[in-house]
Chain A
């Protein structure tokens, strides 16, 4: 350890070797005590508000804990109840459908805008800022605005459709349109983040690769398909994982825009968790739903991580 050496003239004077090593040992333990003290506030917060709740979620899911605080151990009964709960199946289907719509939509939107920004040098900073703007607002704000945009009577979109003598279309009131409509809202709100990640990925592709392909006579599609896309692959996978995990946790937009309707056709997994907990105060059951969500998110990220690992 070079750290225990005295700097020239640092402490002044020559010390007996014994005293130096004694001081060294004392300081090392002081260092580790200091380390523990510095980490202590965060450690306490993590233990109490992260680790305890994780353990608590597992334990709660094995009980029938109610609002009153009374509970008994019921083993896996909450999970077997989930398996036969039609509402759970439906909310799982809603969440999956939403994910299947939202992820391609948001990835294509962010890839498209990233490619545009990469190609067009004109006012790049300005446009990058514009596309990023919705991202700094809350999903609640996005939901409030878009709920009005979609409104069947006085909404912006139906106003435009009306001018074209089309509609009115009740975007949020029809079961087959509600999930795509919410997905568009969330994609609008969030694509700026993935766009920035992808843009950074695009900018890190060496120019010489593209120039070489150009000299070889590749047209712009071929350059994209055979140079840009393979180079962008790890970044794309990262964006895909992030957005998929995000999609599985959808709740805010549905709570604000539809209340889960019409007839639960936008009633997601987290919505069911929220209702089970804070409407029916069935805390054990709600915790079981939470752990299902955790398992899904874990599997998604492990599968996608494995896919990336295999390809690279």
Chain B
């Protein structure tokens, strides 16, 4: 900082070169930005091109020839693999988890933010502390637990353990904590049942937070790999993400793998396309990490 202070204010020599470099900078930075964007999108573009390229012949020139584009790879991969079944599994895993995580996290968040009960601080602290434990560190005991419950290779084993989501509880407590107490007290004094206060006052007021959290939970589960890999042992219980990984380890032609990849990414892209602004704003605000 000190060397800055020594400089004379509004010095003429520094003014002139700056005016010179600005037109150049005005072009370089957007060019750099556009190039970076192209490199970022290129792998997706390549994926789609290869997915539509004819299976025979060389991938390269053919992939860029629109006249030779074909749906064959999609038809082949859909008939030779279990993609429809995997899609159903992924949808069940993601959507059921979204529903219950939102419900239970909102309930817990409401209790932590607005209710007084014995052990509240300790419980909340313990919930938060689990954020520090990497999921992989408890992978083995979680698996043994699920196998003792006879839940391996089924939806229960896939879904239920993932519902204990501390980020969700934390986020809901933050949002509900911002609501003024008077809202609930008036209803309480009028003798409204607790559950009705929750469903008719709390939930509608935190709808934006629920929407944000819902998008994240959906993406977390849709893209999840290690837990579905460990739990879904028979081909019937694979999710789309795990299925895609198995596709490319088997001797499936690259065009079909890319067709499968294109199918798996569609829901994420749909969520992203519809809610991009929402998603990016909420990360900046809350620091939620998928």
Contact = CB atoms under 8 A, between A and B. Distances in A.
A22 interface: no
A142 B37 CA distance: 16
B268 interface: yes
Nearest to A204: B284
Interface in B84-126: 103-105, 107-108, 110-112, 115-118, 120, 123, 126
A39 B164 CA distance: 12
Contacts of B272: 129, 132-133, 136
A215 B14 CA distance: 10
B117 A36 contact: yes
Interface string A188-214: 100001001101100000000000010
B74 to A, nearest CB: 16
B283 A137 contact: no
Contacts of A217: 4, 7-11, 14
A285 B8 CA distance: 67
A43 interface: yes
B60 interface: yes
B46 A156 contact: yes
A312 B107 CA distance: 37
B264 A57 contact: no
A49 B164 contact: yes
Interface stretch (B27-35, B65-73, B206-214): B27-35
B160 interface: yes
B174 to A, nearest CB: 15
B96 to A, nearest CB: 14
A116 interface: yes
A42, A49, A56 pick with most chain B CB within 10 angstroms: A42
Interface stretch (A86-94, A97-105, A169-177, A247-255): A247-255
- Interface size bracket, B side: 35 or more
A199 B284 CA distance: 8
B36 A116 contact: yes
A216 B4 contact: yes
Given A136-B271, A293-B136, A35 B36 contact: no
A256 B223 CA distance: 14
A7 interface: yes
Nearest to B277: A125
Contact of A219 (B18, B103, B118, B271): B18
Given A7-B189, A131-B37, A136-B219, A294 B137 contact: yes
Contacts of A138: 222-225, 241, 264, 268
B290 interface: yes
The bracket for how many chain A residues form the interface is: 35 or more
A146 B43 contact: yes
B132 interface: yes
Contact of A57 (B111, B137, B226, B285): B137
Contacts of B235: none
A179 interface: no
Contacts of A11: 189
A150 to B, nearest CB: 11
A116 B37 CA distance: 11
A148 B108 contact: no
Given A42-B169, A242-B289, A222 B4 contact: yes
A106 interface: no
B205 interface: no
A132 B248 contact: no
A7 B190 CA distance: 10
A42 B105 contact: yes
Contacts of A183: none
A132 B50 contact: no
B75 interface: no
Interface in A159-185: 159
A226 B140 contact: no
A140 B225 CA distance: 7
B139 interface: yes
Contacts of B108: 38-39, 41-43
Nearest to A218: B4
B217 to A, nearest CB: 13
Nearest to B120: A35
Contact of B111 (A36, A52, A216): A36
A245 interface: yes
A133 B117 contact: no
15 contacts: A36-B111, A39-B115, A42-B169, A45-B164, A49-B164, A116-B33, A129-B280, A140-B241, A213-B4, A215-B10, A218-B7, A226-B1, A249-B135, A277-B143, A293-B137
Given A130-B37, A249-B134, 18 more contacts: A3-B185, A31-B117, A36-B111, A38-B108, A50-B164, A60-B141, A119-B29, A120-B30, A127-B33, A131-B40, A132-B272, A136-B219, A136-B272, A141-B244, A216-B7, A252-B225, A259-B249, A293-B134
